[in-house]
Structure 1
């Protein structure tokens, strides 16, 4: 995970400004994740896994303005940006940690993650899903807005073509575009959606579904009964 920490520390300051030019349908992607998050508690305890600059938490606060937030990320520079975003906000905690192995704390009403877990190796993802299940309260929800590989090589290629065309259509410079492709090739470790859903069920979640998919970009939701 050290190479991931270093990479994200390097571009923390401009991470948010590039999001809409990297993620197709970004607002719908994040909006669906917020829609999927449910809690019977109007002031839910929320764990943001791989929180980065706090973008996912900020979106969730539109639905749960009184939430108690715990933001966990391995890159301290990214969390510094989150601290600036939420400066002066109470009930907000920041934890610099390798969430693939570190303690998650809890119990939480909601665990969420956005565009982070796909950096882990397959077995790390599988074990993380089990650890997330344990850290949730009964009735707790796990919402993961992330990336998934195509189910076959054919669709993997089609999805990449779609994504590449979207990147080319945006306002980024040629050097910025090249940096994003380099980062994608070096850091992304996407799994098939079918595998991710199976791992969630294996972890013990009773209700598991995919509520959004735009080629590579997915939102899965899982409920602890």
Structure 2
């Protein structure tokens, strides 16, 4: 994870400003994750995994403004921006940690993540899903807004072409575009959506589904009975 920490520390300042030019239908992507998130508690305990600059937490707080937040990320520069974003907000905790192996704490009513878990190797994803399950209260929910590979090489190539065309259509410079492609090639470890759903079910989650997909970009939901 050290190479991931270094990479995200380097571009922390540009992360938020580039999001809409990197993620097609960004607002629908995050908005669907918020729609999917549920809690029986009016003031839920929420874990944001790979929280980065706090962008996902900011979206979730639109629905649960009084929530108690725990933001976990390996890149301290990213969490520094989250601290600025939520400056003065009570019940907000920041943990600089490798969430693939570190303690998650809990128990939580809701765990969420956005565009982070796909960086892990397959076996680490599966282990993380189990650890998230254990960190949730009964009835707790895990919402993951992330990336998925195509189910076949044909669709993998088509999804990549779609994403490349979107990147090229935006206002970023050629240097920025090349940096994003380099980061994608070096850091992304996408899995098939079908595999991710199986892993979540095998972990013990009772209600598992995909509520959004736009080629590479997905939102999955898993509820602990």
- Asked if these proteins are the same fold (TM beyond 0.5), I'd say yes
Q: Deviations over 1:165-215 (max 9, x none)?
A: 000000000000000000000000000000000000011000000000000
> Which residue pairs with 1:42 in the alignment?
42
Partner of 2:17: 17
Q: Which residue of 2 aligns with 1:75?
A: 75
Which residue matches 1:161?
A: 161
For 2:129 and 2:202, how far apart are their aligned partners in 1? 9
Count residues in correspondence: 225
Please state whether the residue corresponding to 1:33 is helix, strand or coil. Answer: helix
Give the corresponding residue for 1:191: 191
Please give the secondary structure, in 2, of the residue aligned with 1:165. helix
Are 2:118 and 1:118 aligned? Answer: yes
Distance 1:152 1:13 in 2: 36
Match runs of 1:1-225 below 5 Å: 1-225=1-225
- Runs of 4+ aligned structure 1 residues displaced above 6 Å come to none
- DSSP 3-state at the match of 1:189: coil
When normalised by structure 1's length, the TM-score is 1.00
Deviation, 1:144, is: 0.2
Q: Once the 2 structures are TM-superposed, how far is the Cα of residue 60 of structure 1 from its aligned partner?
A: 0.4
User: Over the residues paired in the alignment, what is the CA RMSD in angstroms?
Assistant: 0.3
Structure 2 regions of 5+ residues with no counterpart?
A: none
In the superposition, the TM-score normalised over structure 2's length comes to: 1.00
